[in-house]
Structure 1
């Protein structure tokens, strides 16, 4: 009993001491202007806080749940819906972005494990402003509208000592079928209280998916230093991050390709990449390299469990380590590479851009351009298969599936986004090769393309 009272007192003291700082931070960091909610069918619903200015010209005069399906998605029975997101200050440092990504990942894990919260349905929620600041969150739908759900969410917030702390809101309808979001705030010495509601209105879809302006800072890094800064922010909790940085620092910043051709072979899993790369390497008496390289491959499982910004920084730096090997080997013989930068970029884009293929960055967008400081190959080949043929080959492999393989197999939209992103890559672009014929025929086609482009 004494232990329980001691814990209770510590909790009250922690709430009181933290409430001033957290409350001030919450007031200083106003909620983002707009939200993008992923709906069934890979469509996105955009809505915003505020007055008439938030609504587009075609959003109707009423701006209520009866007149717009985007708002109805926030209120339709049964149950109650909550928004939970991790705020990131505009222009936040790389370390702050890493902390926010880790906190978001922690929240998702807890939402899927805690008793009352396991009953909730989760949908991806992006919070953004017109200036391009993006914050990641989730919409929770509790079909039972249980008080236990609210209590569990507030307890989850209590456990988060990060500043700024996660933001929790509830969507509520009024008698006029208008939609409001009320944020939970921690008031000095008074615990959690619902703040005054903010009107929610439908918003026009932006010209670009909200996450696209943020990709170069969080997933598709434009140069080595951008990716390096991310892993530098991780060394205190991922010891292997320092080991990766040490290997990167051994690579010269300015490198050039040798006189022999450098060919990259890309493709989804089970398209015959391993067979083709080995066969081409044997035919050309070329050195065969892989990205990520063997020297950091031992840590893939560690980084694959991290948030996108950390995981993609790891793979991006792996490309720079491979580039150093390419520069050395291409002075002596041709070089064949099993995946390189295009894989790193396409999977990142397909993962981060929610919705369907129509939400991908348009063709010729800068995100599809090769990094300015990464050694460029002479030729990139993309092996392709029909979805049916690829699945058939996957079944015959009898190998443990990676998370990306599982996603490709179960999510046809994700697969389409990866394939289209590959085809939009530029400077260099991908030469598409049909990998469905017999392997001898595919090898003949590949060698012919290499001869026509690398001589």
Structure 2
């Protein structure tokens, strides 16, 4: 069975570019945790209380799970967030501040649901520099504690292979660096095998935000499309994931 790779991490600009480039490099189908068929309801439920909002995302995960069950058995899948996020945010919002308030590591709440397709691996992307800068902003100081609790909850989830990528620690300066490092880690674990010299799906040059497997492969006559996409994605990455890098 082809690998199911889930990307998790804070909601920062630049992550979508990382997911898009990574899926094209792996030749993978790119799926979002909220499927297209109910994505128009996302804004409605995001404004609801946590219990109702969590129920919406739980249902979204099971619809996504059905898509994974029916997915062709020859193509890898990259998922932008999955059950991990739903459970982590639900737990943290319920217990309040403090890692000590989390359920113990051996609690069954961290078990993966038996009726939901399980990922081959989960890649947790973080940026220490971004979190350190959040400490300087009074109104956002509580957010760093929240993010730390989310990350700890991710790490406690069992029956999964984890890969942690710290953009600051690894010296990543743009989306290409992040994608390359993730691919290296995936190859180290024998999850994927990628030819780095021929890894970019041509259709991503034309339509970087559309799942590449639904697009015709047609190279433009000029490289301006690629240059523009590179510049935009790297700018978003530098400003949000690696704020210390000048643009």
Smaller-chain TM-score range?
A: 0.5 to 0.7
Kindly state the Cα deviation for residue 332 of structure 1 after the two structures are TM-superposed. Answer: 3.7
Q: CA deviation at 1:421?
A: 0.8
Q: Which structure would you say has the larger Rg?
A: 1
Partner residue, 1:356:
98
Partner of 1:368: 110
CA apart distance, 1:440: 2.3
Q: Is 2:81 aligned against 1:339?
A: yes
The one of 154, 166, 170 equivalent to 1:434 is: 166
Provide TM-score, normalisation by structure 1: 0.38
Tell me the TM-score normalized by structure 2: 0.67
**Which has the higher mean CA deviation after the structures are superposed, 335-344 or 429-438?**
429-438
- Structure 1 gaps of 5+ residues are 1-258, 394-406
Aligned to 2:180: 444
Match of 2:191 in 1: 454
Q: Is the 8 A contact 2:131 2:144 kept in 1?
A: no
C-alpha distance in 2 between matches for 1:434 and 1:416: 13
Aligned residues of 1:319 and 1:341 also touching (Cα < 8 A) = yes
Structure 1 match to 2:241: none
Deviation per CA, 1:301-331, whole angstroms, max 9, x where unpaired?
A: 2212323222111101101111122223342
Alignment of 1:55-454 (within 5 A): 259-270=1-12, 272-386=14-128, 388-389=129-130, 410-436=142-168, 437-438=172-173, 439-451=175-187, 452-454=189-191
Deviation at 1:408, TM superposition (A): 6.9
Q: Which has the higher contact order (CA 8 A, sep 6+)?
A: 2
Query: Is residue 346–residue 422 contact of structure 1 (8 Å, CA) maintained in 2?
Result: yes
Asked whether the equivalents of residues 9 and 126 of structure 2 are also in contact (C-alpha less than 8 Å), the reply is: yes
Q: 1:389 & 1:354 partners in 2: Cα distance?
A: 22
> Could you list the runs of 5+ residues in structure 2 that have no partner in the other structure?
193-247
Q: After superposition, give the CA deviation of every residue in 1:19-68 in whole Å (9 maximum; x if it has no partner).
A: xxxxxxxxxxxxxxxxxxxxxxxxxxxxxxxxxxxxxxxxxxxxxxxxxx
Q: Which one has a larger percent helix, Structure 1 or Structure 2?
A: 2
Query: CA offset at residue 368 of structure 1?
Result: 1.1
Secondary structure of the 2:160 match is coil
Q: Tell me how far apart the structure 2 counterparts of residues 271 and 431 of structure 1 sit (CA, whole Å).
A: 21
Q: Give the 3-state SS of the residue equivalent to 2:88 in structure 1.
A: helix
Alignment partner of 2:56: what SS?
helix
Deviations 1:203-228 (A, max 9, x none): xxxxxxxxxxxxxxxxxxxxxxxxxx
- Does the CA-based 8 Å contact 1:370-1:427 persist in structure 2? yes
Residues 283 and 269 of structure 1: is their aligned pair in 2 closer, same or farther, counting only changes over 3 Å? same
**Deviations 1:377-436 (Å, cap 9, x if unpaired)?**
1111100111x425869xxxxxxxxxxxxx977533222211211121111153211123
Q: More strand per residue: 1 or 2? A: 1
CA contact (8 A) 2:8 2:123 kept: yes
- For 2:30 and 2:131, the matched residues in 1 are separated by 24
| Contact kept? 2:120, 2:161, Cα under 8 Å | no
Provide the C-alpha distance between the structure 2 equivalents of 1:383 and 1:355, rounded to a whole number of angstroms.
22
Residue 422 of structure 1 contacts residue 430 of structure 1 at CA under 8 Å; is this kept in 2? no
RMSD of the TM alignment (CA)? Answer: 2.3
